[in-house]
Amino acid sequence: METIIREGSPKTPYVMLDGEKGLIEIKGRSIPENSVEFYKPLIDWLDTYGEDPKDTTTVNVQLEYFNTSSSKCILDIFKKLELIYKKGTKVQINWYYEEDDEDMFEAGEDYQSIINIPFSMFEMEE
């Protein structure tokens, strides 16, 4: 399966979707005006990956900032992962946030409360 790598930009995060390793990483900032345009190809990739996923899929999310327009798209990604998880494969979401960043911690809690999937939060020291 094709691996997608997107380098980060001032408004969009670094993204890696590696179908061979079952590894997904989203890092940096996600504040584009048109989030749907940015996330659509990633969601399409997940649809294809979900047809024949690896036994274990690990998802690392380490965002510095994200806007409310991205928040819905990030949830869409998690919902796709939830479908994969429900098929019986292992899926683990790791949500990283900087020490003292209560806003990012709470954002993690929001997702944790909405989706039914193993979701761990990790505080990173500055």
Partner 1 sequence: MGFDLDKWVLHKMQGEVLLHYVGEITSDKITEALTKIESNLNIKNEKNIIRKKVFNVFVECIQNLFHHVDESPKASDIENKGKFGIIILAKDNSFYRISTGNFVRIDKINIIKDRVDQVNSLSDEEIKSVYRDILGNEDITIKGGGGLGMLDIVRKTGNKLEYSVYTYNKELVFFALDVYIS
Among 2, 7, 47, 103, binds partner 1 (CB under 8 A): 103
For residues 3 and 24, give the distance between their C-alpha atoms in angstroms, rounded to a whole number: 10
Q: With beta carbons less than 8 A apart as the criterion, state whether 107 and 71 touch.
A: yes
- In b/e form, how buried is each residue of 84-104, taking b as 16+ CB within 10 angstroms? bbeeeeebbbbbbbeeebeeb
Q: Is 25 in the site for partner 1 (CB under 8 A)?
A: no
Side-chain-side CA neighbours of 92 within 13 Å: the count stands at 12
Q: Is 82 in the site for partner 1 (CB under 8 A)?
A: no
Q: Is 69 in the site for partner 1 (CB under 8 A)?
A: yes
For residues 2 and 45, give the distance between their C-alpha atoms in angstroms, rounded to a whole number: 9
- Paired tokens of 53: 């996923």
Q: In the complex with partner 1, which residue's Cβ is closer, 17 or 101?
A: 101
Q: In the complex with partner 1, which residue's Cβ is closer, 22 or 46?
A: 46
Q: In the complex with partner 1, which residue's Cβ is closer, 29 or 54?
A: 29
- Paired tokens of 49: 């990956």
Among 31, 81, 84, 93, binds partner 1 (CB under 8 A): 31
Q: Is 106 in the site for partner 1 (CB under 8 A)?
A: yes
- Paired tokens of 43: 């969601």
Q: Minimum Å distance from CB 110 to partner 1? A: 5
Residues lying near partner 1 in the complex (CB under 8 A)? 10-11, 31, 33, 36, 64-65, 67-69, 71-72, 75, 98, 100-103, 106, 110, 113-114, 126
